[in-house]
Amino acid sequence: MRNLSEARLTSIWRIIVCVAGGLLSLVQMASAQPLTDSDTEQVRRGEYLARAGNCMGCHTTRGGEPYAGGRKLNTPFGQFVTPNITPDKETGIGSWSGEDFWQALHYGKSKDGRNLYPAFPYTEYTKVTRPDADAIFAYLRSLPPIAQTNPPHKINPPYDNQALLYLWRKWYFNEGVYQPDKSKSDEWNRGNYLVQGLGHCNACHTPRNVWGASQDDQLTGGKIMGSYWYAPSLISPLEAGVSEWPVEDIVELLSTGINSHAVTSGSMATIVRQSLQYLSDYDIRSIAVYLQSLGEKKGDAKAPRKARKMPEQVRQYLALGQEVYEKHCQDCHGQSGEGIPKIYPPLAGNRNVTMSPPLNTIRNVLYGGYPPATAGNPRPHGMPPYQHFIRDTEIAQVVSYIRNAWGNRGSLVSPEDVDNSRGSEF
Amino acid sequence: MKFFAFIFLAMISGLASAAEPSSSGLSDTLEERVKPCIICHRDADRIDRDAYFPRIAGKPAGYLFNQLRNFRDGRRYYQPMAILLENMSDEYMREIAEYFAAQPYAYLEPVVPALTPDEIKSVETLMYSGDPERDLPACSACHGEKLMGVQPTIPGLLGLPHAYLAAQFGGWRNGGIMRGQIPDCMSEIAKKLTQEEVNALVQWLPGLPVSGQSTGADALTPELAQRCRTILSGKEVTR
Specify the CATH number for the domain of residue A321: 1.10.760.10
CATH code assigned at B76:
1.10.760.10
- Asked if A272 and A225 sit in the same domain, the reply is yes
User: At which of A269, A300, A331 does a domain end?
Assistant: A300
- Structure confidence by residue, pLDDT tens digits, A133-157: 999 999 999 999 999 999 999 999 8
Name the residue range of residue B121's domain. 28-232
Beta-bridge partner residues of B129: none
- Asked if A201 and A116 sit in the same domain, the reply is no
Contact between chains at B84 and A370 (C-beta distance less than 8 A): yes
- Asked if A220 and A322 sit in the same domain, the reply is no
Contact A95, A89 (CB under 8 A): yes
Question: Average of pLDDT values for B222-236?
Answer: 63
Give domain status of residue A407, yes or no: yes
Number of domains chain A contains: 3
The closest of A114, A225, A128, A111 to A175, measured between CA atoms, is A128
- Closest CB from A260, A348, A370 relative to B11: A260
- Asked if A322 and A391 sit in the same domain, the reply is yes
Residue of B nearest to A426 (CA): B79
* Chain B residues within 8 A of A382 when measuring between CB atoms: 33, 35-36, 84
Residue B13 confidence (pLDDT): 40
- Whole-number Å distance between alpha carbons of A278 and A259: 17
Distance of CA B139 to the CA centre of its chain: 17
Give domain status of residue A34, yes or no: no
- Closest CB from B30, B36, B237 relative to A384: B36
pLDDT band, residue B151 (cuts 50/70/90): confident
Q: Which residue has the higher pLDDT, A127 or B50?
A: A127
Residue B219 confidence (pLDDT): 64
Which string of b and e fits A269-298 if b means at least 16 CB within 10 Å? bbbbbbbbbbbeeebbbbbbbbbbebbeeb
- Asked if A254 and A214 sit in the same domain, the reply is yes
Question: Average of pLDDT values for B223-228?
Answer: 69
* Chain A residues within 8 A of B33 when measuring between CB atoms: 379-382
Helical pair A37-52 and A130-142, crossing angle rounded to 10 deg: 100
Number of domains chain B contains: 1
Q: Which parts of A82-175 fold into alpha helices (H)?
A: 98-107, 122-125, 130-142, 162-172
End-to-end alpha carbon distance in chain B:
44
Q: What is the CA radius of gyration of chain A?
A: 25
Q: Is B228 annotated as a binding residue?
A: no
- Structure confidence by residue, pLDDT tens digits, B178-201: 555 555 788 889 999 999 999 999
Degrees (nearest 5) of the Cα angle B207, B213, B217? 115
Beta-bridge partner residues of A154: A79
Percent of chain B whose pLDDT exceeds 70: 73
Contacts of A264 (CB under 8 A, 6+ apart): A253, A257, A258, A271, A272, A371, A372
Q: Is A321 exposed, middle or buried (0-12, 13-18, 19+ CB in 10 A)?
A: buried
Give domain status of residue A225, yes or no: yes
The closest of A230, A128, A219, A228 to A179, measured between CA atoms, is A128
Contact between chains at A342 and B88 (C-beta distance less than 8 A): no
What's the Cα-to-Cα distance from A271 to each of A276, A372, A387, rounded to whole Å? 6, 9, 25
Q: Is A248 exposed, middle or buried (0-12, 13-18, 19+ CB in 10 A)?
A: exposed
* Chain B residues within 8 A of A389 when measuring between CB atoms: 39
Q: Which of B86, B93, B181, B235 to mutate to test the interface with A (most CBs of A within 10 A)?
A: B86
Q: Which of A256, A267, A343 to mutate to test the interface with B (most CBs of B within 10 A)?
A: A343
- Whole-number Å distance between alpha carbons of B220 and B223: 8
Residue A29 confidence (pLDDT): 42
Give domain status of residue A275, yes or no: yes
The closest of A359, A356, A375 to A417, measured between CA atoms, is A359
- Asked if A148 and A196 sit in the same domain, the reply is no
User: At which of A172, A199, A226 does a domain end?
Assistant: A172
pLDDT band, residue B49 (cuts 50/70/90): low
Which backbone phi and psi does B230 adopt, to 5 degrees?
A: -70, -30
**Amino acid letter for position A158:** P
Contact between chains at B39 and A386 (C-beta distance less than 8 A): yes
Name the residue range of residue A359's domain. 312-420
User: Residue B89: left (phi > 0), alpha (psi -120 to 50), or beta?
Assistant: beta
Give domain status of residue A37, yes or no: no
For A256, the 3-state DSSP assignment is helix
- Asked if A165 and A56 sit in the same domain, the reply is yes
Q: Is B185 annotated as a binding residue?
A: no
- Structure confidence by residue, pLDDT tens digits, B73-114: 988 888 999 999 999 999 999 999 999 999 887 667 788 889
Segments of chain A scoring below 70 in pLDDT: 1-35, 215-217, 299-308
Contacts of A309 (CB under 8 A, 6+ apart): none
Residue A263 confidence (pLDDT): 97
Give domain status of residue A385, yes or no: yes
